[in-house]
Amino acid sequence: GPAEMSEHLRYLARHARIPLSVMPNAGLPVLTSDGAHYPLSPAELADAQESFVRDYGLSLVGGCCGTTPEHLRQVVERVRDLTPTPRDPRPEPGAASLYQTVPFRQDTSYLAIGERTNANGSKKFREAMLDGRWDDCVEMARDQI
């Protein structure tokens, strides 16, 4: 549903260089004896989509599971004349997994990427790291290349 997407959209609006779109369900499904029920009314979905266009500069909005023709009619009516808020994305280089992104930002700490520079997997590396032998750590990383 839109409520569950909001924080993700906020992040994407700040960092993504491409236009953004969203097609939420009409809320999180509630399982009943008659099957799945989607709790958001057409007006509530339209409220959410309007705020996504205004707050996050989304270029395309729609609906997925649980949206009815009335949901979509109200969304279209609400956003038809809106111009997406301009975005000024500032992408941050990093590595991402399914669950999170880790920026390639280094203050004064040591950043290691690679199997041979893994303190759990390499006793030699762990000992050099614990002894503060940073030149040895860097050399092991270069050897891995």
Nearest to residue 46, comparing CAs of 21, 74, 70?
74
Q: What kind and span of H or E run contains 37?
A: strand 35-37
Task: Report domain extents, the chain.
Answer: 2-79, 106-144
Does the pTM exceed 0.85?
no
**Tens digit of each residue's pLDDT (9 = 90 or more) over 21-68:** 999 999 999 999 999 999 999 999 999 999 999 999 999 999 999 999
Token output for 96? 């991402």
Token output for 135? 């030149």
What's the pLDDT band for 100 if we cut at 50, 70, 90?
confident
